[in-house]
Structures are given as structure tokens and as C-alpha cells.
Amino acid sequence: MSGIWIYSEDSAVAKQLLTAGQELKKTMQQPVNVITLNAENVQSLTTAGADKVFLLKGNSIWPESYAGAIAELLSKEQASVVLVGATMRGKDLAAKIAAILKTGLVSDALTVQYANDAIETTRLVYGGLAVRTEASALPALITIPPRTFPETSAAAVQCEIVTVEAANQDSRVTVSNVCPIVREGADIATANKIVCVGRGLAKQEDVKMAEELAAAVGGEIGCTRGISEDYHWLPSDRYIGISGQKVKPELYIGMGISGQVQHVVGIRDSKIIVVIDTNEKAPIFEAADYGIVGDLYEVVPLLTAALEKK
């Protein structure tokens, strides 16, 4: 077996996976190869520390339809490890590749290392209550969520570009229509400051109060799942947690949020966590750097006014 292979349709995610790939390279002593479907990404990937960049050329614009072609390439090159970005498309693609190659698939790994001739991964299980360590025999196929690793800072090495005609494309599914999601505001996954609302908010109109605080700190608005999925007060791309967005802002301000683990796993990489809740025993205080025990309807307007004055 030879080679640590990386794929994501998002070149920023591919460069994050390269960080993990380069760590594996140190212990496995195998080259790191990147697969891309987009000719425009080739140049930047060649300078990101990859040993080879494989450009798969085909007719389809849907990455998922390249599962057969990618599996064929991995099989021919006898890949040892395949790291796929756990984007929506990446998850779909990885599952198809695993089925074709008849390998296992570890999804949403947070760490990856080579030990005892296997790939050892950790990932959250039971809704984030436990961390499971798993060992996968080679070849190992693993998906890794975006932003789990920083983008690679490795120096460029001599990188070969290989163009492969993707003959084996799946044409059983055709796309009849595409409706892009209209996003309001910025992507909270990359926001630097987030004001997050939970079910401590009594009514939809009160989201405005949180938006005013967000405007005062120059941040974006986020929420817990119930606010989005049950109440429909904010769009689903705004909710944070294990089944929503994972965020890494410099500043997270949460209000009226109890701090259940399913939410906290999505915010724990925030640099500073400030929370406001009436219940001093709410678990959110355990995750917080600064906690205010109080009624958000009193605290938030005072905080906003003070910040606006500054």
C-alpha cells in the first residue's frame, strides 16, 4: 500500500486535510497526494506541500458522480489512507467510495494518527457525550469536518501534476433543477464574533434585541437548534452544535442557552465565551469564560448601550 490521499471539493478544506496528511506522512513515510476535480485549484494545491496533485477530468459538474473514478484511482494506486473533507458533498462521496472499495468508513474524525499498522482516529459519539477511539486497518477511509485542522503551512515540495481522464462516472442520477439557498448575512462558521440566542428568548420579536447586540460588537447572529428547527425564528444555517454549524469565533456571547452538550460541542473552540442565563446552575456556565447570572431582558440592553457608547 502506498500513499496518503486527500480529497475535498473545497480547496480550503483540502489544505486543512493536508495538515493532517503531513502529520501522517511523518510516521508512515508515504507521499501525500491530493485529488481535485477543479483545474483552477491545481496550482494552489501544488504549492501546499502535496507530493502529487491528481486532476480528475470528466463531464459531470457533480463531485458525487466521481465516486467510481476516484475509487478506481485509489485502488490502482493502492492508497493506504484516504482523508475526505466532511462537507455535505464529501460525506456523500466518501460513503459511495467506501461501498465501491468495500472498506469501512470513519466519519467526522477529530484526530488521525498512524499506530500499530492501523489508522487510529477519535470522534464524538452519543451526541457529544463521549469520545471514541477507533483503529482502522489499511486502506482506511476517513472523513474530517472542515476547520478541524488549520490550513497547512508546509513548504512546497517538488510536486507532480497528474491528469486522469475520469471514465468511470455515475450517470444514474441527473440533476433536473438547482435552487441555491439564499443566505442572509455572513457564514457564521467563519464569523469572528457571534451573538447566540436560545430558548430563554420569549418571542420572535426579541431576536431584534440580540441583533442589536450583534451589531454593537460587529458580529453575526446564531442560535440553538430549537430556535431554528422548532420555532423557525432563524434559518437553519444559523444554528450551532453537533448537528448544526461548528464555530470558532474570537468572541461568543450566548443568552438564554442552557448549555446542553449538543450545543456546547459546536462552540467549545471559541476563544472567549460569555453567557447570560437566569439559572446559575445551567451547564453553559461550565463552558464559559465569563458568566452573567441574570435576566437577558435586563442585561442585554445594558450591554448593548454600554458597547454603543464605546
Ligand X SMILES: Cc1cc2nc3c(=O)[nH]c(=O)nc-3n(C[C@H](O)[C@H](O)[C@H](O)COP(=O)(O)OP(=O)(O)OC[C@H]3O[C@@H](n4cnc5c(N)ncnc54)[C@H](O)[C@@H]3O)c2cc1C
Q: Kindly give the residue spans of alpha helices, DSSP state H, lying in 163-222.
A: 207-217
Site membership for ligand X, residue 258 (CB under 6 A): yes
Q: Could you give the 3-state DSSP secondary structure of residue 198?
A: coil
E strands in the chain: 4-7, 32-36, 52-57, 81-85, 111-115, 118-125, 130-137, 140-144, 160-165, 193-197, 220-223, 251-255, 272-277, 290-293
Only segment of 134-142, 152-160, 166-174, 251-259 that touches ligand X (CB under 6 A):
251-259
Choice from 226, 231, 268, 307 touching ligand X (CB under 6 A):
226
| CA-atom Rg of the chain in angstroms | 22
Only segment of 29-37, 40-48, 160-168, 259-267 that touches ligand X (CB under 6 A):
259-267
Torsion sign over Cα 82, 53, 89, 184 = positive
Site membership for ligand X, residue 204 (CB under 6 A): no
Only segment of 57-65, 143-151, 159-167, 273-281 that touches ligand X (CB under 6 A):
273-281
Site membership for ligand X, residue 295 (CB under 6 A): yes
Choice from 62, 231, 285, 297 touching ligand X (CB under 6 A):
297
Binding mask 100-139 for ligand X (x = CB under 6 A): ---------------------------x------------
Q: How far apart are the first and last CA of the chain?
A: 61
Closer to ligand X by CB, 220 or 277: give it.
277
Choice from 21, 146, 244, 249 touching ligand X (CB under 6 A):
244
Are residues 262 and 198 in contact, defined by beta-carbon separation less than 8 angstroms? Answer: no
Q: 118: exposed, middle or buried (C-beta count within 10 Å: 0-12, 13-18, 19+)?
A: middle
Closer to ligand X by CB, 77 or 212: give it.
212
Binding mask 21-60 for ligand X (x = CB under 6 A): ----------------------------------------
Closest CA to 241 of 270, 268, 266, 273: 266
Rounded to a whole number of angstroms, the minimum distance from the CB of residue 245 to ligand X is 8
Closest CA to 201 of 193, 213, 209: 209
| Side-chain-side CA neighbours of residue 76 (13 Å) | 7
The binding site for ligand X (CB under 6 A) comprises: 127, 198-200, 224-226, 239-244, 256-258, 260, 262-263, 266, 276-279, 282, 295-297
